[in-house]
Amino acid sequence: MWSEKEQQELDKILEKYPSDRKLSAVMPALYLAQREKNWLDDEDIEAVAAALDIPVTHVHSIIGFYTLYRKEPVGKYMVEVCTDLPCALRGAEDFYKRLCQRLGLSDHGGTTDDGLFTVEAVVCIAACDKAPCMQINLEYYESLTDEQIDAVLDGLRRAASE
């Protein structure tokens, strides 16, 4: 499952932990496995378990606990918008609806027909003071206006077509 480059990266990750503590590397290993397609299938999960010499059930428990990991296909760009109370007080819910509308999605998010964007409301991305904000593939966009939403989406569309 691991490409040569990914195996090298995994080896570097594992070097950071004592050989009897490979379990500690499960989160960075999962992130590495998910990076290419933005989600984890059974083969990815089994590869992480094998690389760390841990039970597959333990890997599943980590994936089930953290929202960072996905077990279903998502768009190339995973867009997460915080709609928790502090952000909601700064207009996050309306921001979320406008973002969904711009992408042709229902008010409940989802994945665009072209598979480019998946939008999801989440509970806190730790940027309450910069609402409305969103996180796209772990990159933060803060204090956003409607014009900035369009600029970000257009930039990502251009990047995807290159």
> Do the domain assignments include residue 25?
yes
- Distance between the two ends of the chain, CA-based, in angstroms? 26
Q: Residue 2: which residues within 8 A CB-CB, separation 6 or more?
A: 10, 47, 51
Q: Are residues 43 and 86 in the same domain?
A: no
Let me know whether 146 and 100 are in one domain. yes
String of DSSP letters for 134-151: EEETTEEE-S--HHHHHH
Q: Could you tell me if 46 and 112 lie in one domain?
A: no
Same domain, 89 and 53: no
If asked whether residues 87 and 149 sit together in one domain, one would say yes
Between vectors from CA 99 to CA 93 and to CA 104, what angle results, nearest 5°?
125
Q: Which CATH number covers residue 142?
A: 3.40.30.10
Cβ neighbours, 10 Å, residue 113: 10
pTM of the prediction? 0.80
DSSP 8-state class, residue 90: T
- Nearest 5°: CA angle at 126, between 33 and 78? 40
**In this structure, are 82 and 156 located in the same domain?**
yes
Residue pLDDT, tens place only, 72-84: 999 999 999 999 9
pLDDT tens digits, 122-157: 988 888 889 899 999 889 999 988 899 999 999 999
Q: Express each pLDDT in 41-69 by its tens digit.
A: 999 999 999 999 999 999 999 999 987 89
Domain count for the chain, please give it: 2
d(CA 66, CA 62): 6
Which residues constitute the domain of residue 37? 4-65
Residue at 71 is within a domain: no
